[in-house]
Amino acid sequence: MSTFTFTLVVEGPDLQSDEIIEALFQAGCDDSLVGRSGGIQYIDFDREAASLEEAVLSAVTDIESVDGLVVVRLADSGLVSMADIAARTGRTRESVRLLVAGERGPGGFPAPVTDPRSRYRLWRATEVERWMRTHVDDAYETHEDHARVAINATLELRYHSSHIPDDRKSDLLALAGL
């Protein structure tokens, strides 16, 4: 077994109330720490499991056994900034900026998942990793990004689909290939 460290964003009653903290502990979250930042509630875990998927699934099950709590997503959803890319590759931020802009390297850097005109752009770490390995041959730390992206997509689909009217769900799930 390995220990997996991850953070889950949670909606519901105040996580820092004594009642909720006790309920989380009783539910099996004795390997966690609750917090809040900018009004967003989260729970940090250091959970032992055979895989990241198993660790996250067991944490979600434990959290949601507490009345009113809903897991929204992983806090680290596999998105990276230019600064993150620079840190993972050992390059400077300027070097990464030039790769992104196509002013260095072969061009074709993956498109950001945020608005490309925004000053604060983010990319999927898995797409950047694939591009870097194919075109630049840099060592790139993945940090289990592929698993985190898949887990987060599942959590977000589950969360958001609960807010979609039933008459629209089948169309949207078909669009997703599910």
Domain boundaries, the chain: 1-76, 79-135
Q: Is the pLDDT of residue 19 over 90?
A: yes
Please check the confidence at residue 168 and state whether its pLDDT lies above 80: no
pLDDT tens digits for range 106-122: 999 999 999 988 888 99
H helices of 18-141, where?
A: 18-26, 52-64, 82-89, 93-101, 125-135
What phi and psi values does residue 150 have, to the nearest 5 degrees?
-65, -45
Its pTM stands at: 0.70
The angle that helices 125-135 and 145-161 make with each other, rounded to 10 degrees, is: 150
Q: Quote the CA–CA distance of 48 and 12 in Å, as a whole number.
A: 25
State residue 143's pLDDT score.
Answer: 54
- Token pair for 33: 């720490």
Tell me the fold of 1-76.
Alpha-Beta Plaits (3.30.70)
Q: What is the pLDDT of residue 169?
A: 65
